Amino acid sequence: MKDASADATRSLTVLIPALNEEANLAAVVRETGPAVEGFFSDYEILIVDDGSTDATGRIADEMARQDPRVRVFHNGIPRGLGFNYRLGAEQGTKEFYVLVPGDNENPARTLAAVFEKAGSADMVVPYVVNTAVRSVPRRILSRSYTVFLNLLFGLRLPYFNGPVLHRRALLAALPPWTHSFAFQAEILVQLARQGASLAVVPIEIRRVQGSVTKAFRLANILAVAGTVMRLFWRLQIVGRLRSAKKGRRDLGDGSDSTSPEASLSVSRDSSGR
């Protein structure tokens, strides 16, 4: 059902990456469409079959045949979330951009909470409040990751994953990001440091039966660590050296060397969270 708050000018590209999600993919698409229609007048759904070995690809192709708003891309081998996110950002044609996982973790009410904030900020960042649906190791890892990144880059973001809503044009201006699980963190840190505005919103996720996170695999942990180290070096070390060098040049020229820090404008939902 169309929500009265739908904006006649807003449009959204939804990316649904799926690796062996034959049991969940159709449900994700069915639930995403109505949630989008409540807040956007125009949208498209991009499904990326990330090298699946089950029927995920065939299911995606069938949905594309049934709905012209659905487009499908097939990777011959798994390329990773960051690769798929870049693919969606490049192939998308709408103003806003969001990733909805193919495992059906995000119910329609969660997506609606994020979409409702469209246009209120450059980035709408959700954070999970019902963390008990996840395993204790997963909760510890997620919390540690968030705290570490905030300390490392001087930020106060509540979460560095989830269905973040971006203005697609801002993503196009960024350098290529990692293919690893850290892609969203790399994007958020860069945009926050550039002064992009931010709205945060609490969300609830559903427990996905039979789902096993790939975040604990050694290769993924090493990839994330490498991404964070490179980002720290580029932004905190090289960036500060360049700023210091520029400041010395400005002093030599007798000009004002003051360089304002990029500010992060944060708005929160009506609950005060």
The tens digit of pLDDT for each residue in 63-82 reads 999 999 999 999 999 999 99
Identify whether 271 is part of a domain. no
Residue 272 placed within a domain: no
pLDDT above 60 for 260: no
Residue 242 within a domain: yes
Instruction: Answer yes or no: are the C-beta atoms of 205 and 106 closer than 8 Å.
Output: yes
Q: Is the pLDDT of residue 256 over 70?
A: no
Residues 14 and 29: their CA atoms lie apart, in Å, by: 10
User: How many domains does the chain fold into?
Assistant: 1
Does a structural domain hold residue 258? no
201 pLDDT band, cuts 50/70/90, is very high
Structural domain contains residue 94: yes
Give per-residue pLDDT as tens, 204-231: 999 876 656 666 677 888 889 999 999 9
- Is residue 259 included in any domain, yes or no? no
- Pair 205, 110: CB distance under 8 Å: yes
| Mean pLDDT, residues 39-49 | 97
- For 229-260, b/e burial (b = at least 16 CB within 10 A) is eebbeebeeeeeeeeeeeeeeeeeeeeeeeee
CA dihedral sign of residues 206, 207, 211, 214: positive
Which domain does 85 fall in, by range?
7-253
Residue 1 has pLDDT above 90, yes or no: no
- DSSP output for 30-74: HHHHHHHHTTEEEEEEEEEEES-SSSHHHHHHHHHHH-TTEEEEE
Q: What is the pLDDT of residues 100-141, one digit of tens each?
A: 999 999 999 999 999 999 999 999 999 999 999 999 999 999
Residue 263 lies in a domain: no
Strands 165-167 and 96-99: what pairing? Answer: antiparallel
CA distance 222 to 201: 30
- Model pTM? 0.84
Q: How many CB atoms lie within 10 A of CB 273?
A: 11
Q: Which residue would you say has higher pLDDT here, 3 or 49?
A: 49
Whether residue 241 is predicted with pLDDT greater than 50 in this model: the reply is yes
List, in sequence order, every beta strand (DSSP E) within the chain. 7-18, 40-50, 70-75, 96-99, 123-128, 165-167, 198-203, 266-268
| Average pLDDT of the residues of the chain | 88
- Residue 101: give its domain's CATH number: 3.90.550.10
Return the residue matching tokens 């998308």.
Answer: 92
Instruction: State how far the Cα of 21 lies from the Cα of 231, in Å rounded to an integer.
Output: 32
